[in-house]
């Protein structure tokens, strides 16, 4: 933790020579002054200042600390990259860290399933345990960084997760970051995630969870900086706000991120209605609000609500946005001079920020903060690896299993694994991810699972999409060092700018390096070093090539002296997303030698560099057909990747636009490959990896078994193989609706609720929200209700669930409520309770659920909840009602 010793001025205990000198000078000066001062003065000066006195309340400490700051120092603390305040012993702190499904962008970490996959578990306890593991690793990594005085981006304790926007439209590229389309499911899972992140210590927060993006925000990505989400209050309170309210009131999230867009004309980060009236006044939120990155700048640049940065800054602070991810709050000095804001209003924001840091224990002795004792060994520990496997297993949804095609036998003689998602570990992670130590691809998982006598053959089969080729590491046999050895020569520098003399050199067989959060050598600064690889490349085939680099450093690739590929500074664009700029198609000739140079400068946290290319490939379809023709069964691993769907992306491929999707089916090249393989007459199992709903229409009609695996994280391959071969009985459920076409959806930009999601959609879905099959069968009976007729009481529900099969399995019990005579529009039915539980074969369990009394209310046109006397139908089963599964129902009146 950060500690400060007070000798008239507060200083911190640091290790850097500059700080040591600074502290020594202050210490000597104060000793000199004290020696000349009266005794009473000496005692006062030697006393601990209030802001460091742990016996005082947090409020008193924060007030004292902020009172000692100049206005310039206060304003600087309102930026996400907050500088140190030396004379107060306040260390620098970067507020931006990520923990969506593992500690992200900070090197080695356990990578759990993407958030949409965690939602598919329908398991509150599992989500809590995953979040607990994430916060363990965040704490351990933070203290390891801080021990070396590293305080860069992605190294802190304020995690900008979870994303709880409702996934209202499957075209949204960031929907993968959410818990799905239902406010109740999203809110209940998010509460557990928040509790796991923030811990249960009565005095300190373990980390801080940030719920985002408040409040009406879910695409399109291309217009997110300028669009106005125009909706009525009924839609706001019925659909967009419930999960936010739940996470604030029940989860007690201590941070909230406001969105880019406007809501009914007001900038979300400058909305007094959203941030003050609803969030702080109605919900009694006590934490701090941070802007999405660049959102304050959008107010004058895109929304045109103000004319100057100082006006945007003042508007946002007065509305309740305390922290600016960006630079606009630097203009608060001008806003003060212009009379747009007062120092007292700035003080309010700064105090909220330092209250958060106090609650994290950043100004207290480390021995008093139990969370600071979490050892680094928790990072990627065996326990967390097993949890990643468990979460991946629980997230898998068996969409279809005709004729009991699954599970497959492990003793098949020949299995073909085909598809572009079968053998690339980056495809497993989604976005906002860390770097796993041992990611298991589906191909590897299948190879490890089957009998030693089973032959497993692989063929890529197709590209991801037309114009989007698969990229693979460039092999060592086509690389040559300047001295003629295979591979590349690496020259290392002790600075990121590659200046001065070479520190040392070594040879690398290829460029596929992952130093994580370490330096190449112990005597180097892991956050400030550079590498230059040099040599040549000699292609083995004539044709069209693309070169690219996947890197967390500032990396450039030169071919014959020309820059052909690069990553932006820190491998992030201005909004923090990974990006790589690959070359245009290059015509290269076999046996021609081209000079190659790659430079990389590392400036924080982690170092991962992979030189990749798309080379001319053999006929992928023909190769796949030949591989499948010899097989006893074919496992096709298809789907999407984070190269196709995500946050504000530069992608120009049919079916994808700006990170969003324009079509719901698989890319055409993948669809055709599935049809061609199916035509061979072999047993085919389809596994899809993706972050959003897929219109698998032909596939559902023709492929006997289909698994939805999402972006399953580091244990993907083992989890998928466990389900395919029967070592794990699947029980995941869809947290979103799988539609048959975009024609089922309203305009993507229309935020008014009409037919979006299962709650309002009256058409026939391909796979419904809540759908998921098992290798077991379950029977429901003896449904009982308590307090069913009391208008003001929670309803208590119990039901008997029997596993009627010979196989142990999990069941997800789902309760849906329908209003028969509400005086306003309400969902046709809505999820009001659920529970995942394990039931051994031929055994019965009594499941008890609680339906909150507010579930029997409706939202009026003013956004108010209204309880009313009326008739209701409660349905309980393994899916939504009317889905051809066993469901118990009960109709009753409440008065």
Task: From 630, 709, 619, select the one nearest 416 (Cα to Cα).
Answer: 630
Yes or no: say if 341 and 329 are a contact pair by the CB < 8 Å rule: no
Q: Where are the beta strands (DSSP E) in 375-521?
A: 397-401, 414-418, 455-459, 472-473, 479-480, 488-493, 504-508, 512-516
Q: Which letter, b or e, does each residue of 174-207 get, where b requires 16 or more Cβ atoms within 10 Å of its Cβ?
A: bbbbbbbbbbbbbbbbbbbbbbbbbbeeeebbbb
Distance (Å, whole) CA 254 – CA 198:
8
Residue 719 CB-half CA count within 13 A: 34
Residues 6+ apart with CB under 8 A from 789: 892, 893, 894, 895
Tell me the CA end-to-end span of the chain in Å, nearest whole number: 56
Yes or no: say if 332 and 81 are a contact pair by the CB < 8 Å rule: no
Distance (Å, whole) CA 520 – CA 243:
45
Torsion of the alpha carbons at 696, 701, 707 and 709, rounded to the nearest 10: 0
Three-state DSSP class for residue 103? coil
Say how many residues make up the chain: 895
Residues acting as catalytic residues: 292, 645
Distance (Å, whole) CA 850 – CA 799:
12
Residues 6+ apart with CB under 8 A from 684: 633, 634, 635, 636, 674, 677, 678, 703, 704, 705
- Assign 3-state DSSP to the chain and report helix, strand, coil percentages, each to 5: 30, 25, 45
State the sign of the Cα–Cα–Cα–Cα dihedral 442, 444, 449, 452.
positive
Instruction: List residues bridging with 506 in a β-sheet.
Output: 490
Residue 14, number of CB atoms within 10 A of its CB: 18
Instruction: List residues bridging with 633 in a β-sheet.
Output: 415
Residue 64, number of CB atoms within 10 A of its CB: 15
Pairing of strands 397-401, 288-291: unpaired
Residues 6+ apart with CB under 8 A from 308: 300, 331, 334
Yes or no: say if 104 and 576 are a contact pair by the CB < 8 Å rule: no
Distance (Å, whole) CA 675 – CA 697:
12
Residues 6+ apart with CB under 8 A from 221: 172, 173, 174, 647, 648, 649, 658, 659, 660
Residues 6+ apart with CB under 8 A from 279: 214, 248, 256, 285, 289, 320
Torsion of the alpha carbons at 47, 48, 54 and 60, rounded to the nearest 10: 100
Strands of 830-839's sheet, edge to edge?
830-839, 809-819, 870-877, 887-894
Distance (Å, whole) CA 754 – CA 158:
37
Task: From 435, 286, 436, select the one nearest 358 (Cα to Cα).
Answer: 286
Distance (Å, whole) CA 677 – CA 691:
25
């Amino acid at each position: 933790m950060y500690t400060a010793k007070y000798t008239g001025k507060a200083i911190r205990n640091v290790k850097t020579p500059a700080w040591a000198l600074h502290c020594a000078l202050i210490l000597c000066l104060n000793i000199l002054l004290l020696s000349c001062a009266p005794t009473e003065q000496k005692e006062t000066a030697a006393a601990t200042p209030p802001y460091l006195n742990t016996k005082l309340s947090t409020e008193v400490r924060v007030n004292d600390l902020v009172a000692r700051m100049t206005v310039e120092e206060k304003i600087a603390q309102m930026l996400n990259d907050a500088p140190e305040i030396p004379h107060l012993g306040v260390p620098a702190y970067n507020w931006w860290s990520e923990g969506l499904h593992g500690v992200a962008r900070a090197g080695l970490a356990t990578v759990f399933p993407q958030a949409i996959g965690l939602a598919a578990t329908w398991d509150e306890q599992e989500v809590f345990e995953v979040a607990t593991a994430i916060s363990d690793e965040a704490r351990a990594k933070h203290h390891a960084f801080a021990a070396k005085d590293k305080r860069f981006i992605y190294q802190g304790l304020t995690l900008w997760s979870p994303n709880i926007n409702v996934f209202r439209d499957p075209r949204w590229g960031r929907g993968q970051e959410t818990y799905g389309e239902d406010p109740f499911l999203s809110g209940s899972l998010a509460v557990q995630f928040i509790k796991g992140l923030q811990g249960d210590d009565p005095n300190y927060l373990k980390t801080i969870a940030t719920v985002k993006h408040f409040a009406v925000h879910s695409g399109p990505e291309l217009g997110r900086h300028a669009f106005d989400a125009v909706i009525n209050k009924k839609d706001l309170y019925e659909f967009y706000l419930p999960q936010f309210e739940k996470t604030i009131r029940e989860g007690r999230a201590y941070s909230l991120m406001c969105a880019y867009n406007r809501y009914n004309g007001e900038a979300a980060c400058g909305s007094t209605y959203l941030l003050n009236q609803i969030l702080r006044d109605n919900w009694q939120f006590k934490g701090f609000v941070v802007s999405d990155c660049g959102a304050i700048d959008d107010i004058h640049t895109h929304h045109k609500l103000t004319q100057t940065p100082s006006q945007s800054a003042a508007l946002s602070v007065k509305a309740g946005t305390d922290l600016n991810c960006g630079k606009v709050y630097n203009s608060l000095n001008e806003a003060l001079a212009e009379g747009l804001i007062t120092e007292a209003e700035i003080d309010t924001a700064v105090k909220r920020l330092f209250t958060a840091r106090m609650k994290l224990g950043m100004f207290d002795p480390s021995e008093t903060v139990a969370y600071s004792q979490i050892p680094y060994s928790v990072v990627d520990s065996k326990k967390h690896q097993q949890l990643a496997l468990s979460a991946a297993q629980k997230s898998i949804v068996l969409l279809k299993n005709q004729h009991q095609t699954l599970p497959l036998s492990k003793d098949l003689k020949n299995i073909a694994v085909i598809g572009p998602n079968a053998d690339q570990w980056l495809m497993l992670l989604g976005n906002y991810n860390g770097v796993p130590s041992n990611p298991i691809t589906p191909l590897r998982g299948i190879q490890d699972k089957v009998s030693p006598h089973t032959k497993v053959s692989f063929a890529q089969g197709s590209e991801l999409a037309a114009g989007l080729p698969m990229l693979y590491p460039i092999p060592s046999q086509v690389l040559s060092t300047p001295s003629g050895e295979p591979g590349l020569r690496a020259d290392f520098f002790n600075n990121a700018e590659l200046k001065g003399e070479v520190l040392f050199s070594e040879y690398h067989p290829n460029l596929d390096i992952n130093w994580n959060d370490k330096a190449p050598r112990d005597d180097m600064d892991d956050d400030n070093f550079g590498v230059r690889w040099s040599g040549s490349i000699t292609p083995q085939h004539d044709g069209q090539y693309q070169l690219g680099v996947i890197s967390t450093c500032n990396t450039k690739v030169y071919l014959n002296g020309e820059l052909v590929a690069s990553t932006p500074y820190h491998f992030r664009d201005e909004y923090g997303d990974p990006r790589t700029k690959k070359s245009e198609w290059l015509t290269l000739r076999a046996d021609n030698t081209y000079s190659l140079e790659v430079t990389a400068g590392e400036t924080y946290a982690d170092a991962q560099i992979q030189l990749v290319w798309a080379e001319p490939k053999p006929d992928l379809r023909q190769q796949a057909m030949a591989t499948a023709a010899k097989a006893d069964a074919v496992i096709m691993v298809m789907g999407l990747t984070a190269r196709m769907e995500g946050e504000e992306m530069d992608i120009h491929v049919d079916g994808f636009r700006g990170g969003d999707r324009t079509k719901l089916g698989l890319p055409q090249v993948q669809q055709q490959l599935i049809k061609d393989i199916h035509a061979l007459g072999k047993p085919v199992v389809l596994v899809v990896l993706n972050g959003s709903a897929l219109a698998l229409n032909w596939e559902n009609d023709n492929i006997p078994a289909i698994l939805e695996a999402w972006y399953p994280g580091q244990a993907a391959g083992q989890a998928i193989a466990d389900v395919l071969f029967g070592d794990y009985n699947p029980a995941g459920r869809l947290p979103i609706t799988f539609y048959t076409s975009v024609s089922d959806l309203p305009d993507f930009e229309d935020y008014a609720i009409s037919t979006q999601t299962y709650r309002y959609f009256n058409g026939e879905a391909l796979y419904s929200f809540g759908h998921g099959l098992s290798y077991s069968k379950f029977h429901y009976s003896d449904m009982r209700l308590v307090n069913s007729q009391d208008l003001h009481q929670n309803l208590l529900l119990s039901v008997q669930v029997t596993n009627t099969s010979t196989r142990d399995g999990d069941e997800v019990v789902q309760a849906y409520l329908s209003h028969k005579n509400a005086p306003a529009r309400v969902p046709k039915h809505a999820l009001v309770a659920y529970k995942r539980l394990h039931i051994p074969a031929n055994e019965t369990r009594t499941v008890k659920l609680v339906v909150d009394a507010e579930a029997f209310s409706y939202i009026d046109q003013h956004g108010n909840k209204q309880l009313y006397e009326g008739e209701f139908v409660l349905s309980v089963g393994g899916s939504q009602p009317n889905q051809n599964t066993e469901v118990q129902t009960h109709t009753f009146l409440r008065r």
